[in-house]
Amino acid sequence: MDVLNALVLFLNFVMIPATAYGAQLALGALGVTLIYAVLRFSNFAHGDMMAFGTMLVVLVTWGLQSLGVSLGPLPTALLALPIGILGTIVLALVTDASVYRFYRSKRSEPVIFVIASVGVMFVYNALTRFVIGTDDQRFEDGARFVVKVGDFRKWSGLDEGLAIRTSQLITVVVMILTVAFVFWFLQKTRTGKAMRAYSDNEDLALLSGISPERVVRITWILAAALAVIAGTLYGLDKSFRPFTYFQLLLPIFAAAIVGGIGHPLGAVAGGFVVAYSEVMVTYAYKGVLTYLLPEAWRPEGLVQMLGTDYKFAVSFIILVVVLLIRPTGIFRGRTI
C-alpha cells in the first residue's frame, strides 16, 4: 500500500505535470529546430510567435464562446486552433518576405539572421501586447478534469489522490499526433525529402532542381503551426500571459540544443529531458520517502535539491553542461 501511495504521489506531482510541460516544450523545440535545420539560424522570435498565435486562438475562442459554440467536454480552443494557425502562418510568411528574404539574397552570416530575429521578436512582442494586453487571459472551458483527486481516492482507497486535467491529456495526445505527422512529412513526402536535402547541402539541392523559396515557405508554415499548437496547449494547461511565452524561450532552446539542434527527434527528446529535470530537481521528496523508507530512516527535512525559485536555473545548467561536454547534443545535431 505504501509503495502504491508513493507512486501515486510521485505521478500526481512530478510525472503528470512534467509530461504535459515536456510535450509543450517538445513542440516548441521542434519548431526552433526546423528553422535551424533549413534556414540555419536560431529564431529568437519563436516564443513570441507562440504568444501571437495563442492570442489569435484566444480571441477566436471568445468569439465562438459568445456565439454559443462548444465542443462539449473538450475546450473550444481546439476549434479555434486552425484559424490561429492560419493567421500565424500569414504573419510568418510576411515576416520572411519582408525581413529574412533580404538577408538570404545577400547570403548573410547566421548571426545577422539571429539579430534580425531579435528585432522581429520585439515587434511580435509589442503586437501581441497591443492587441490583448499584458494580463492573464483565461480561455479554457469544457470539463476541467479527466480524473479528479477525490474520485480517485474513493476508487482506489489510497491516501494519496491523483488528478489528470483534460488539458494535460489533450496536450499529450495532440503532441503525439503532431510529432507523428511532422516525422511522416519529413520522411515520406516529396516536399519533406526536399527539405531534408536542402538542409543537408543547399548547393546540391539547388542543382537537383529543388526550389529554395518553396522549401523556406514550407518550413515557416510548419514552424508557425507548431508554435501555435505548442502555445495554445501551454495556455490551456497553465495560463496565457504574453510575458511567460517570452520566458519559455530559454527552456525551448535548452531542449533543442540538448537534443541536438537541427535534429527533429532530438528536439522532442530534449523537451522531455528539460521538463523532467526542471520538475524533478526542484521537487521535495519527503512525502515519497516517508512512504518508502522504514520509520527510523524517514527524513526530517524536505529532501529538495533546489528551491522552486531555481527552476529556470536548471535549464541554464543543462544548456551549459551540454555545450561544454557534448556540443552536438544527444542526437548529434549540428554544432553551433
Partner 1 sequence: MRRILLATAACAGLASAAVAEPTNIGIILGFTGPLESITPGMAASAELALKEASDSGKLPGGITLAPTRSDSTCIDAAAATTAAQQQVNTQKVAAIVGADCSGVTTAIANNVAIPAGVVMISPSATSPALSTIEDDGYFFRTAPSDARQGEILAAIAMEKGIKEVAVTFTNNDYGKGLADSFGAAFEKAGGKVLISAPHEDGKADYSSEVAALQAAGADTLMVFGYVDQGGVGVVQASLDTGAFESFVFADGMYGQSLIDKIGDDINGKVWGTLPGVEGEAADKFAAYAKENGMDPTGTYVPESYDAGALIALSIAASGSADRTGIRDKMMDVANEPGEKIYAGELAKGIELAAAGTDIDYEGATGVEFVGPGEARGSYRVYEIKDDKAETIGYR
Query: DSSP H helical segments within the chain, as ranges?
Result: 2-10, 16-39, 46-67, 77-95, 101-105, 110-132, 149-156, 166-188, 190-200, 202-207, 212-237, 242-259, 264-282, 286-292, 311-325
Position 228 contacts partner 1 (CB under 8 A): no
Q: How far is the CB of 285 from partner 1 (least distance, A)?
A: 7
Position 309 contacts partner 1 (CB under 8 A): yes
Mark 260-289 with x for binding to partner 1 (rule: CB under 8 A) and - for no binding: ------------------xx--xxxxxxx-
Which secondary-structure segment (H or E) carries 164? Answer: strand 164-165
Residue from the set 62, 103, 243, 276 that interacts with partner 1 by CB under 8 A: 243
Cα gap 236→192, rounded to integer Å: 30
Cβ proximity of 16 and 279 under 8 Å:
no
Neighbours of 110 (CB within 10 A): 14
Q: Work out the burial of residue 200: count CB atoms within 10 Å of its CB; fewer than 13 is exposed, 13-18 middle, 19 or more buried.
A: exposed
Cα gap 267→29, rounded to integer Å: 5
Cα gap 54→132, rounded to integer Å: 11
Neighbours of 299 (CB within 10 A): 14
Q: How far is the CB of 177 from partner 1 (least distance, A)?
A: 23
Q: How far is the CB of 292 from partner 1 (least distance, A)?
A: 13
Mark 120-159 with x for binding to partner 1 (rule: CB under 8 A) and - for no binding: ------------------x-----xx---xx--x------
Point out which span in 10-18, 59-67, 79-87, 104-112 binds partner 1 (CB under 8 A).
10-18
Q: Which is nearer to partner 1, 129 or 241 (CB)?
A: 241
Q: How far is the CB of 84 from partner 1 (least distance, A)?
A: 18
Q: Which is nearer to partner 1, 113 or 285 (CB)?
A: 285
Contacts with partner 1 by CB under 8 A: the residue count is 39
Q: How far is the CB of 304 from partner 1 (least distance, A)?
A: 6
HSE, side-chain direction, 13 A CA sphere, residue 194: 17
Q: How far is the CB of 325 from partner 1 (least distance, A)?
A: 26
Nearest partner of 265 among 170, 174, 187, 173, judged by Cα: 187
Position 46 contacts partner 1 (CB under 8 A): no
Point out which span in 174-182, 221-229, 258-266, 305-313 binds partner 1 (CB under 8 A).
305-313
Point out which span in 120-128, 178-186, 256-264, 304-312 binds partner 1 (CB under 8 A).
304-312
Cβ proximity of 187 and 176 under 8 Å:
no
Residue from the set 5, 13, 113, 328 that interacts with partner 1 by CB under 8 A: 13
Q: How far is the CB of 45 from partner 1 (least distance, A)?
A: 19
Point out which span in 9-17, 41-49, 207-215, 323-331 binds partner 1 (CB under 8 A).
9-17
Q: Which is nearer to partner 1, 185 or 310 (CB)?
A: 310
Letter string b/e over residues 132-169, b meaning 16 or more CB atoms within 10 A of that residue's CB: beeeebebbbbeebebbeeebeeeeebebbbbbbbbbe
Residue from the set 17, 75, 84, 270 that interacts with partner 1 by CB under 8 A: 17
Residues that bind partner 1 in the complex, under the rule CB under 8 A: 12-14, 17, 21, 138, 144-145, 149-150, 153, 161, 163, 165, 234, 237-241, 243-244, 278-279, 282-288, 290, 302-304, 307-309, 311
